Amino acid sequence: MSENKLQELKDGLFYEPKHAMEIIDGETVKQADEFCEGYKSYLDEAKIERESVEFFVREAEKRGYTEFDNRKKYSAGDKVYYNNRGKSLILCVIGKKSVGEGVKISAAHIDSPRLDLKPNPLYEDTNLALFKTHYYGGIKKYQWTAIPLALHGVVVKANGERVKVRIGEDEGDPQFVVTDLLPHLAQEQMKQTMAEGIKGENLNILIGSRPFSKDEGSEKVKLNIMKILNEKYGIVESDFLSAELEAVPAYKARDIGFDRSLIGAYGHDDKVCAYPAAQAIFSVENPEYTCLTVLTDKEEIGSDGNTGLNSSYMKYFISDLAVMQGEEPWRVLSNSECLSADVNAAFDPTYPEVSERMNSSYVNNGVVITKYTGARGKSGTSDASAEYMGKIRKMLNDSGVVWQIGELGKVDAGGGGTVAMYVAALNVDVVDLGVPVLSMHAPFEVVSKLDVYMAYRAFKVFFEQK
């Protein structure tokens, strides 16, 4: 057989994952780069879940979405949103078909790993004022020292008034930092494991150093900080008891690489799926099926809590739609489909040992479908069926979306989970689909612009199903 013939046979029979640049045209590359300019602005504006909800509510209202009212009747083409306590959000476009035929759900999360302030955080030690923190989500603690931090969130005062906090982001704002030992004196620290070198109780944020006055007395640095906070926000120390204040990296999203093909930023996981899933539903007019983009909270700590997807808020919303159209909620759910929009670990050539090359996702090979996550023999996951995988595969192929498959690392290398299992628990067909990320959960994660755009295209064709 000639070499050409052999190649032809191989092309027909073998599965060869390809770099997106081998598949797409220049125009698509341009569209991807443009799309990512919007994504970068979103990243800078909305670093925490509450800011994401505000961002997407504002974008939705610009596009004619109104706040969902379960007593109203909606008709095909109507656009509504459901804001769950300012921390999770459902965007919905009513379809032409009855919801009894099922709805199409894209579900991403808008919380990211970070350092939360403890309920009683403020103290002074040796003339320095600091905040005690309790980290949120899976972090490598040593990565969070000696980087500039900003503070985001809300404080609810004794009188019930709610004060928004966002400091460290604007040019000229002060920023904050967790200090670390100098190498000269770190002999003992450096002997410890990376998990123990920086302990949870070491993640104290430096917030000030000047005493209030020359007068005698204790805790004058703390007093000075409290006075500044009181002048700026009208709060007193006990108001921290009813606050959610989150320390996040203070830097902005930036292009990475001489070719500007990548984006480095805090919180790609999972804003890199939330933004495309939201833009995809914004692009949908008069869909056949009712479409939902769910932007959820609390995924990083197991989806528990009433703003996470292990709560019933999405089920209740879909139930409201069902009742409105005279359908049984469980039938609507049982006929529904979901793309659990979450990131996967991209193959990192510096750390190849944690991945299995044949089943890893790669930067620039397109959006990644993860059939199952979990750990220890597929525990703690929804393992998507061959039938649903087949359906999604055909849908993406038919519309020219560049995609790949990926497992979360080698067997028994570790593991993780997504919201897929909570959606599956509602008897909805679901599979994970998202963007491969380098340095996932680090304060500065990296994704490819082409993959981000392919995620958008994937959610869009999912919503446009006939």
Minimum distance of Mn ion from residue 126's CB (angstroms):
36
By C-beta, is 174 or 414 nearer to Mn ion?
Answer: 414
Q: Which residues pair with 294 in a beta bridge?
A: 90, 107
| Residue where the block lists tokens 């055909």 | 394
Residue (208 or 416) nearer to Mn ion, CB: 416
Q: Is there binding between residue 269 and Mn ion (CB under 5 A)?
A: yes
Nearer to Mn ion, 246 or 342 (CB): 342
- State the Cα–Cα distance between residues 131 and 63, nearest whole angstrom: 41
Which residues contact residue 146 at a Cβ distance below 8 angstroms, ignoring those fewer than 6 apart? 177, 178, 179, 180
**Residue 16 CB coordination number (10 Å):** 7
Q: Specify the stretch interacting with Mn ion by CB under 5 A; choose among 153-161, 229-237, 269-277, 288-296.
A: 269-277
Q: Which stretch binds Mn ion (CB under 5 A): 38-46, 165-173, 341-349, 387-395?
A: 341-349
Cβ nearer to Mn ion, comparing 78 with 269: 269
Q: Which residues contact 114 (CB under 8 A, 6 or more apart)?
A: 48, 135, 136, 137, 246, 247, 248
Which of 124, 270, 327, 429 forms a contact with Mn ion (CB under 5 A)? 270
Distance from C-alpha of 119 to C-alpha of 121, rounded to nearest angstrom: 6
**Residue 111 interacting with Mn ion (CB under 5 A):** no
Size of the site for Mn ion (CB under 5 A): 3
The closest alpha carbon to 313, from 94, 67, 84, 50, belongs to: 84
* Interface with Mn ion, residue 342, by CB under 5 A: yes
CA separation for the pair 439, 450 (Å, rounded): 18
Q: Which of residues 74-103 bind Mn ion (CB under 5 A)?
A: none
Q: How far is the CB of 232 from Mn ion (least distance, A)?
A: 33
Cβ proximity to Mn ion, 139 vs 226, nearer residue:
139
Select 102 or 443, whichever has its Cβ closest to Mn ion. Answer: 443
CA-nearest of 99, 108, 105, 92 to 57 is 92
End-to-end CA distance of the chain: 44
Nearest CB to Mn ion, comparing residues 270 and 429: 270
Cβ at position 315, least distance to Mn ion in Å: 21
As measured in angstroms, the least distance from the Cβ of 300 to Mn ion is: 5
Closest-approach residue to Mn ion (CB): 270
337 binds Mn ion (CB under 5 A): no
> What residues numbered 168-187 form the site for Mn ion, per CB under 5 A?
none
Looking at residue 331, its amino acid is R
Mark the segment that binds Mn ion (CB under 5 A) among 199-207, 265-273, 308-316, 318-326: 265-273
The answer to whether 265 and 444 have CB atoms below 8 angstroms apart is yes
Cα–Cα dist 32/29, whole Å: 5
Q: Do the Cβ atoms of 453 and 335 come closer than 8 Å?
A: no
Stretch that binds Mn ion, among 78-86, 198-206, 301-309, 338-346 (CB under 5 A): 338-346
* Residue (42 or 68) nearer to Mn ion, CB: 42
Check binding of 445 to Mn ion (CB under 5 A). no
- At position 458, the amino acid (one-letter code) is A
Other C-beta atoms closer than 10 Å to the C-beta of 403 total 24
* Site for Mn ion, rule CB under 5 A: 269-270, 342
